[in-house]
Amino acid sequence: MMSQRWRPVIVMGAVICAIWIVAVVGYRIAKNSKMTAEKVKTYAESVDINKLSGAARAKAIKDLEAMLNSLSVEERQKARFERAARSWFDVMTEDEKTEFIETTMPTGFKQMITSFEQLPDDKRRRTVNDALKRLKEERDQLAAGDGGAPPGDPNSPPVLSPDLEAKVRSIGLKAFYSQASAQSKAELAPLLEELQKSMQNGRAFRGR
């Protein structure tokens, strides 16, 4: 009698345990399959792109592009700061670099540039200043987390070279991007992503 009375409770407990086991296993699988900046860096370091040619080289680059495009915003930013794909980019041909930059830029970034150029001069200047400031803060925080220089270190290099920053400000973002080399576009990429975030969340359109 006691066994029959407790049987539904035991069955229900077993079902709940099974659900929890499935959930935990699913979480671990999802966590392991999630693309990270570290996985991108590991892949780039594991393959010597100089030893590849033809279809094998093209596929390897496409695979790297797909990995970068699978990153979350935070991991993508981390990969940019850590220059996870830099060893490959430096030895790519100009055509490969151009294709790589265009493929790995965030969706809609060209529309963002057009919208950005339509902002009043003062808002463009303020938005660029704010974006550069946030990029430096985020880079410093990442560096501090890895045992690097503390946030706000005056000796840390700028997130954008002074020459490139001056050209963006004087020529204009849209005009400069249209004529920039693939190398300059790669350096400009973090700023473009930060500007796109500002445009999307409306920060660039707000007053002080």
Q: Are 160 and 187 in contact (CB under 8 A)?
A: yes
How confident is the model at residue 58, as a pLDDT?
95
Tell me: do 96 and 144 sit in the same domain. no
Q: Which residues of 81-102 are buried (b: 16+ CB within 10 A; e: fewer)?
A: bbebbeebbeebeeebbebbbe
Based on the fold, state whether residues 158 and 82 are members of the same structural domain.
no
Boundary of a domain, candidates 42, 71, 102: 102
Together in a domain, 95 and 118: no
pLDDT for the residue 31: 47
Together in a domain, 138 and 199 = yes
Instruction: Please say which residue of 80, 102, 124 terminates a domain.
Output: 102
Same domain, 90 and 158: no
CA-closest candidate to residue 127, choices 140, 141, 115? 115
Note whether 75 and 126 are same-domain residues: no
Residue ranges making up the domain that contains 12: 2-102
Q: Do 197 and 114 contact (CB within 8 A), yes or no?
A: no
Low pLDDT (below 70) residues in the chain: 1-15, 17-33, 145-157, 202-208
**Total number of domains constituting the chain:** 2
Domain C-terminal end among 102, 132, 147? 102
Same domain, 91 and 133: no
State whether the Cα torsion 152-157-162-168 is positive or negative.
Answer: negative
Domain identity same for 125 and 191: yes
Q: Do 22 and 8 share a structural domain?
A: yes
Residue 172 CA to residue 144 CA, distance in Å, equals 33
For residues 66 and 85, membership in a common domain is answered with yes
- Indicate if 46 and 138 belong to the same structural domain: no
173 and 113 part of one domain: yes
